[in-house]
Chains A and B, each alone.
Chain A
Amino acid sequence: MKIAFSASGDTLDAQLDARFGRAAKILIVDSDTDEFVIVDNTQNLNAAQGAGIQSAQHVVSAGAGALVSGHTGPKAFKVLSAAGVEIYLSSAATVRDALEAWKKGELQKIDNADVEGHWI
């Protein structure tokens, strides 16, 4: 399965970005092979608002079945749920740590946005 991680950098050892909408990068990792592609999340962030929605669209277009992030706001949550993407929360330090935790089934799946939206 392809899993999306909000990240501050370009490798699996990059910090897991706690905020999904404003993360610099989204890493789409194949959970079977650990190979990944990098989606630059800053490209479309010229938009004044709705950053989480754009990030969510990146995740969906990349064919990910799950997202792992620190927090997910209500708008991003709505978009991801509509596309059937499972959402997990992790406070792991790096993408690699979060990936391992996901594989072991240790991560909490959420049914609702876990934080309020930001006006933006």
Chain B
Amino acid sequence: MKEIVVISGKGGTGKTSLTAALASAAVKKYRVVFADCDVDASDLHLLFNPDVKETHDFYSGHVARIDQKKCISYGTGTVCKDLCRFEAISYSDAAGMVIDETSCEGCGVCVRFCPAHGIEFPDRYCGQWFVSDTRFGPLVHAALDIGAENSGKLVTTVRTAAKKIAQSGPDGSGPESDYLIVDGSPGTGCPVIASITGCDAVVVVTEPTLSGLHDLERVASLARHFSVPVHVCVNKFDINAEQTRSIIEWCSRNSIPVLGTIPWDRSVTAAQIQGLSIQEYAQKHGAASVADAVNTIWENLCQLTQ
């Protein structure tokens, strides 16, 4: 079983659309499991149309809450506020001492040092994750609560659950899948790191813009930092041939395989609007150039990850 993670560095390069397109290409020959690890703004389900089979609440860390009945401060002598490093505590005559849960990092300092022992420290509910059936195969996905911290723990939870299914089937006794394909998130921080460590291959989806190249350099460096093999594909390559060339040359200088290029085409958005992968849309409406490009990318990726 090989785990492939699709990331982008820069947002909006077409990562999620490509993940769905790779799914279409892959399931023609292989058994595949999927994970949507872009838990902050997860969109893959809009193309996969999941039938949710399991729902799990997700807790991570703690959040501090002031018990107004125990609070002895009237805006002065505010030990908690003075100690809070995250500007999460404020006082108003109307509400008293209040902790803003979005800013609270759950460090526990105010809880420990409140002279009235008036601060509670419950587990922090952060959202939910799901195991679903889809037309492509099992999908593990999540919905992070508004303003919740995204340390990477939910990403890891989703990835671990997906890996388990990929290794031993949905009920633990099933066959091993050939691939686990993960839709990652933009950026280079905790959630991306949690998505890529230990995988077999990273596919970076980039676009031929200066921003795209700049962000590709950073995310490729991140993958190298974590010893994960990098591959690139250039989406919307024909909007700027010169930039596409720069990217391909950069990849070559850095020994990074380019799996392929995908032309810009209205059909990608049209497919998204209909909730279809690029290939499914192409089957119904033509516009085969994008579908063919993705199929080639998948074949190249297969060969390189054998």
Asked if chains A and B are in direct contact (CB within 8 A), the reply is yes
- Interface residues of chain A, those whose CB is within 8 Å of chain B, are 22, 46-49, 115-120
The main secondary structure of chain B at its interface with chain A is mixed
Do A120 and B153 have beta carbons less than 8 Å apart? yes
A49–B155 Cα distance when bound, in Å, is 12
Chain A: which residue is nearest B126 at the CB level? Answer: A48
A49–B60 Cα distance when bound, in Å, is 9
Do A119 and B152 have beta carbons less than 8 Å apart? yes
Do B61 and A118 have beta carbons less than 8 Å apart? no
Smallest CB separation, B231 vs chain A (Å) = 19
Do A115 and B198 have beta carbons less than 8 Å apart? yes
Q: State which of B151, B160, B190, B227 has its C-beta within 8 Å of the C-beta of A22.
A: B160
Chain B: which residue is nearest A45 at the CB level? Answer: B153
Do A48 and B226 have beta carbons less than 8 Å apart? no
**What size tier do the contact residues of chain B reach?**
10 to 19
For A22, A47, A116, A119, the residue with the greatest tally of chain B CB atoms inside 10 Å of its CB is A119
Chain B: which residue is nearest A117 at the CB level? Answer: B197
Q: State which of A49, A115, A116 has its C-beta within 8 Å of the C-beta of B153.
A: A49
Chain A: which residue is nearest B195 at the CB level? Answer: A119
Smallest CB separation, A88 vs chain B (Å) = 20
Do B123 and A120 have beta carbons less than 8 Å apart? no
A120–B191 Cα distance when bound, in Å, is 10
Known A-B contacts A46-B123, A47-B61; the reply to A116 vs B152 at CB < 8 A is: no
For A48, A49, A115, A116, the residue with the greatest tally of chain B CB atoms inside 10 Å of its CB is A48
Do A120 and B198 have beta carbons less than 8 Å apart? no
Do B194 and A118 have beta carbons less than 8 Å apart? yes
Do B60 and A119 have beta carbons less than 8 Å apart? no
Contacts of A120 in B (CB 8 A): 151-153, 155-156, 190, 194
Known A-B contacts A46-B123, A47-B61, A48-B60; the reply to A119 vs B197 at CB < 8 A is: yes
B149 at the interface (CB under 8 A from A): yes
Report the 5 A-B pairs with minimum CB-CB distance, sorted nearest first: A119-B193, A48-B151, A119-B152, A48-B60, A48-B61
Contacts of B197 in A (CB 8 A): 115-119
Do B59 and A46 have beta carbons less than 8 Å apart? yes
Smallest CB separation, A56 vs chain B (Å) = 17
Chain B: which residue is nearest A47 at the CB level? Answer: B61
Q: State which of A46, A115, A116, A118 has its C-beta within 8 Å of the C-beta of B156.
A: A118
Additional A-B contacts beyond A47-B61, A119-B151 (18; CB < 8 A): A22-B160, A46-B61, A47-B60, A48-B60, A48-B152, A116-B197, A116-B226, A116-B227, A117-B197, A118-B156, A118-B197, A119-B152, A119-B190, A119-B194, A120-B151, A120-B153, A120-B155, A120-B156
Known A-B contacts A48-B151, A116-B226, A117-B197; the reply to A22 vs B123 at CB < 8 A is: no
A48–B155 Cα distance when bound, in Å, is 11
Chain A: which residue is nearest B197 at the CB level? Answer: A118
A116–B197 Cα distance when bound, in Å, is 7
Contacts of A116 in B (CB 8 A): 197-198, 226-227
